[in-house]
Amino acid sequence: MASPLARRAVLRAAALAAAAPALSALPTGRAAAVAGAAHPGAGTLAAGGLAAPSAWSVRPFALKDVALREGVFAAKRRLMLGHARGYDVNRLLQVFRANAGLSTGGAVAPGGWEGLDGEANGNLRGHYTGHFLTMLSQAYGSTGDKAYADKIRHMVGALVEVREALRRDPAVLSVPGRFGTAAENVRGSYQYVDLPDTVLGGSASLTLSAWVKPTHDANWTRVLDCGDGTTSRYLYLAARNAGGVPRFAITTSGGGGEQGINGTRPLPLNQWSHLAVTIGGTTGTLYVNGVAVAKNTAMTLNPAALGTLKNHWLGRSTYAADPVFAGAFDEVNIWSRALSATEVAELRDKPAAGSAAGAGDLASYTFEETTGGTFADRSGRGRHATLRRTWGGSSHPGFLAAYPETQFITLESMTSGDYTVVWAPYYTAHKILRGLLDAYLNTGDARALDLASGMCDWMYSRLSKLPESTLQRMWGIFSSGEFGGMVEAICDLHAVTGRAEHLALARLFDLDKLIDACAAGHDILDGLHANQHIPIFTGLVRLYDETGEERYLKAAKNFWGMVVPARMYGIGGTSDREFWKARGVIAGALSDVTAETCCAYNMLKLSRMLFFHEQDPAYMDYYERALYNQVLGSKQDKPDAEKPLVTYFTGLVPGHVRDYTPKQGTTCCEGTGMESATKYQDSVYFTRADDSALYVNLYSPSTLTWEEKGVTVTQETAYPAEQRSRITVRGRTARFDLLLRVPSWARDGDGDGDGGGGGGGFEVRVNGARVTGAAEPGSYVTVSRTWRDGDTVAVTMPFRMRVEKALDDPSVQTLFYGPVNLVARDPRQTFLPVGLYRNAALSGDLLPTFTPVAGEPLHFTLDGIEFAPFAEGTEDPTHAYFRRSEPRVAFGGTDSGVANPARADGTTLLDEIWAAAPFRNARALVKRVQGVVDAWVAAGLLGAEDGRRVVSTARAASYVP
């Protein structure tokens, strides 16, 4: 059998040969996006104008086709839409413009990861801009509000300018100077001025003079640096040394041999300061604003002693790790003599050419240029200078990023991760690519498509040249090699362009070790970074759509089953400290950094995409669980103009208080949180590919406009605050099946204990008449009919109070009422002991044990502790899990006085009794009690007298049905 690497090489060649030829011109507008998707596999329209693959047996509706009505989702979305409307997107564009050497217009990059001062040297900057574009696109797609489209167009236009600037050599950014104009190097541009090799002229005596306006306080930024290409022989004039003050130094033996002169105070930021240094004989003098601030009278080195040097730079250091100078230069002059103190003082008030010293006789730059990248030497020696980037330039004209291409280049030789050096550059590229594609699909802006297509062309130009072994190593590196949902986005782009290179690019991200293991059903997830790997599988599903290779879809299906429920918390989230533990470890994984919000976001996407292929109700059961609990609860219930107020981790330890401003903002989870809050309706309804059926997956107040059928479908419900939904069909007469999801928890009791149950509680009525037939929990009820204007469907379902037990410790449990996870609000930081059997109903429903809170739907109290929906975005200390404690045997509120015994595996007497619920009547319960008691007495687990008291209490108690 061919190896996976060899097999993929053949398939990639086949894809290039078989796919449609590259388009000669980019399409424009929404209609062109659809027309451009005319390639094998293209089908009917899906969300945002993208064609649904022919492999999908059901397809979603566009966000514009599903309008949210008032309810919890609309309320949460309204908060995020307000944030989107009010946020200044120029703050996000700041890092892109800086990287291209463009003016940032005074914009201040946000905190967190999105900025040069962010975590790990800001190595993830740019990712949040992609999230924001997607959020705006979804907001516009949902509401049609022009304000969001205007922001998108502004951002896309700015990114077009950025890419154009990155395509060419750097150009001067002219700003007002100390005298006339000056040249600014924006922080983050990595720009410097390259001077000719002869600029020092071999002179033993020297004066260096420069006006500088620093905009950042980084230490070791250079004004001038001349060196031999190593760190042995050099001289420099620094705006700041390690102590933050100016410094001149010269050496022929490295840092340890520097002869230096230090200033006495830092230069002010955003103000012009004049720096000068003179060297004559054994004396060096440092001047600040015309005043001598320090001298060294024992210097044995001078510029002539350095010999021939290789590098002569303004703003760049011999030491590669030193920052590039951020700020403006004006009036840089170099003389072949030591100016007098009087001459230096005069330079404070007038240009050198008009002073007694005259323009520098070795070199003189006045930075009068307003275009181009060359600075004229006014000394008459023709030593003109050139503006350059430390990283050179991009390898392909499609490159677009908020940092240099060096992160991508460095990754290719890395063998282990170090996010302070390289932090997931392809992950960041994915967010930008996805945002641009979403912008195109929702607004029809062809510039966004051009940018997205160019990014993929650039990536293909890099990755297609790398050996397979290098690719496999890269994608397996933690953090540095993370690439997010890149494959899904590229496949979606390929659906628009039909370009062979784009499909081939998607396959270059195959991580064979992971794919092959999951396809074979081998669980290798223990110890892996969760969110680095979940979106890989959404990409594999899309690769299956585009290629038909079964291995991809099989791997994705098997992977889903390795997470749900084996590594799933009750709220639907997964991961601990961003990583997975062994399957089945739930109680052992609880911490204050569990359930990374991005993981829930990506698991929802994967569940949705798998459902398009196989309509397993389990996928939508999971979707409801994670959406109605973790995702809703990840958004704080208050407005904020500066932050989206979304959680990163959701701690599930006792007493955890959610942090809605993690890491000062702009993290990955805040990005996905913004996206989630603007697409809550994306999976409420699906249609069968041939439009013969409509799936109602979620009970959410909404109105579907189904253009193909000429009908609208409206749900009126306060779900989950009520246990019903009323569906009304309006429009022309249409024949289709209506498939209504029966949640797996909607049961009367099926013998699983703690509120289980069989079907029968879920009821459907059409125009008042009950629909007969099976309504099994975890299935869909099908109503087949010709629908007429005004037809109504009433759906009711039983909510039950039940618990879910941690797989590795059944005594650690979480509480549900219908789909709603209830958390205890209590500041204690140890597990709360909670007993629930005391008033259990004959059905096994635990609700009678609780007291409803008047006027607060879905709020209950027990023993003075309030239980409330996890979805409420408050800052209350919460307990998502508690320790089940049933110390005494009680029935119907009557205590038998007998301690509740337990087997060696932890199963208690009460557990075994209630495992048979539901009971038809009290007599059936008493019969069960008698049987279990007899068995436990016979096994020596319960005394005979205690057994009689238990049975007697069961007979005497009164029960809720």
Q: Report the CATH architecture of 191-389.
A: Sandwich (2.60)
Q: What are phi and psi of 120, to 5 degrees?
A: 55, 50
Distance (Å, rounded) from C-alpha 519 to C-alpha 528?
17
> Domain spanning 685-719+724-796: which CATH class is it, in words?
mainly beta
Which residues are CB-contacts of 766 (< 8 A; sequence separation ≥ 6)?
Answer: 783, 785, 791, 792, 793, 794
Residue 726 is predicted with a pLDDT of: 98
Residue 37 is predicted with a pLDDT of: 34
User: What DSSP character marks residue 817?
Assistant: E
CA nearest to 366, candidates 149, 177, 588: 177
3-state secondary structure at position 143: helix
Which residues sit opposite 866 in a β-bridge? 825, 861
Banded pLDDT at 760 (limits 50, 70, 90): low
Question: What is the mean pLDDT of the segment spanning 529-544?
Answer: 98
Tokens 């293991």 belong to residue: 517
pLDDT digits (tens, 9 = 90+) for 222-247: 999 999 999 999 999 999 999 999 99
Residue 774 is predicted with a pLDDT of: 82
Q: Are 284 and 277 in contact (CB under 8 A)?
A: yes
Residue 825 is predicted with a pLDDT of: 98
CA nearest to 361, candidates 508, 208, 246, 252: 208
If you average pLDDT over every residue of the chain, what do you get? 93
- Of 543 and 37, which is predicted with more confidence? 543
pLDDT digits (tens, 9 = 90+) for 669-724: 999 999 999 999 999 999 999 999 999 999 999 999 999 999 999 999 999 999 99
Distance (Å, rounded) from C-alpha 186 to C-alpha 171?
12
Token output for 312:
């002569």
pLDDT digits (tens, 9 = 90+) for 443-474: 999 999 999 999 999 999 999 999 999 999 99
* Number of Cα atoms under 13 Å in the Cβ half of residue 168: 13
Question: What is the mean pLDDT of the segment spanning 127-138?
Answer: 98
H/E segment holding residue 696: strand 693-696
What percentage of residues in the chain have a pLDDT greater than 90? 91
pLDDT digits (tens, 9 = 90+) for 268-301: 999 999 999 999 999 999 999 999 999 999 999 9
Q: Is the pLDDT of residue 11 over 80?
A: no
- Of 188 and 961, which is predicted with more confidence? 188
Per-domain residue ranges of the chain: 4-64, 191-389, 685-719+724-796, 799-885, 889-961
Instruction: Compute the C-alpha angle 652/657/661, nearest 5°.
Output: 110
Residue 48 is predicted with a pLDDT of: 56
Question: What is the mean pLDDT of the segment spanning 177-200?
Answer: 97
Q: What are phi and psi of 940, to 5 degrees?
A: 75, 20
Distance (Å, rounded) from C-alpha 228 to C-alpha 163?
34
Overall pTM surpassing 0.85 (yes/no) = yes
Question: What is the mean pLDDT of the segment spanning 885-913?
Answer: 95
User: One fold for both 191-389 and 685-719+724-796?
Assistant: no
Distance (Å, rounded) from C-alpha 137 to C-alpha 748?
43
Residue 664 is predicted with a pLDDT of: 83
Q: Are 849 and 801 in contact (CB under 8 A)?
A: yes
Residue 18 is predicted with a pLDDT of: 39
Residue 907 is predicted with a pLDDT of: 92
Banded pLDDT at 30 (limits 50, 70, 90): very low
**Lowest-confidence segment of 28-42, 315-329, 475-489, 637-651 by average pLDDT:** 28-42
Dihedral of alpha carbons 105, 109, 115, 116, sign:
positive
Banded pLDDT at 748 (limits 50, 70, 90): low
Q: Is the pLDDT of residue 308 over 90?
A: yes
Q: Are 782 and 739 in contact (CB under 8 A)?
A: yes
Instruction: Compute the C-alpha angle 315/319/321, nearest 5°.
Output: 90
Banded pLDDT at 49 (limits 50, 70, 90): low
pLDDT digits (tens, 9 = 90+) for 904-927: 988 999 999 999 999 999 999 999
CA nearest to 439, candidates 67, 783, 136: 136
H/E segment holding residue 935: helix 922-938
